[in-house]
Amino acid sequence: MNQTSNELPDSQPLSPTARLLWIALILSTLYFSYFHNLAALGLVGPDEPRYAWIARDMQETGDWIAPRLYGKPWFEKPPLYYWSAALSFKLFGVSETTAGFLHVAGDPGVAGFVRADQAEGGKVVEIAEIEGGED
């Protein structure tokens, strides 16, 4: 009877060039998966344009306290997204790409949160409601 060992064989560490190539491969894959042609689809549905409008108004007027839609206070959502979108509009300019960037940038964090919660036996439905929410 042969005994098998659970130990991994000793492997050679990657050279600096190989590490750079792996990092470049991972980053380019992430770029093409998430950010390439980000504005090709545009803002979808009634919510994304509304949130972008509120953030643009917040950035243009300088009123960072009360989110407003067409001049009327809009307190249906917490202002964190509006603040981050208004800040990105201020830094990168007002465009559909800038508005869509925050949705894409937030998705890997939500996906990681879902995986961590699943490992602890949580329900995915509750986590999906955090990202999508109800209007």
At 1 the pLDDT is 55
Is position 96 within any domain? yes
Which residue in 123, 88, 116 sits closest to 103, CA to CA? 88
What is the C-alpha separation between 36 and 106, in angstroms, rounded? 16
Is position 97 within any domain? yes
Domains of the chain: total: 1
Region 103-129: mean pLDDT is 51
Which amino acid is residue 114, in one-letter code? V
Asked if 111 and 124 touch (Cβ cutoff 8 Å), the reply is no
Output the pTM of the full model. Answer: 0.55
Instruction: Kindly indicate the confidence band of residue 98, based on its pLDDT and cuts at 50, 70 and 90.
Output: confident
At 5 the pLDDT is 66
Is position 124 within any domain? yes
Does 131 have pLDDT greater than 80? no
Domain range enclosing 55: 43-132
Is position 85 within any domain? yes
Structure tokens at 90: 């201020």
Is position 37 within any domain? no
Which amino acid is residue 7, in one-letter code? E
Composition of the chain by helix, strand, coil, percent to 5: 60, 5, 35
Is position 32 within any domain? no
Per-residue pLDDT tens for 16-60?
898 899 999 988 887 787 777 766 777 778 888 898 899 999 999
At 133 the pLDDT is 46
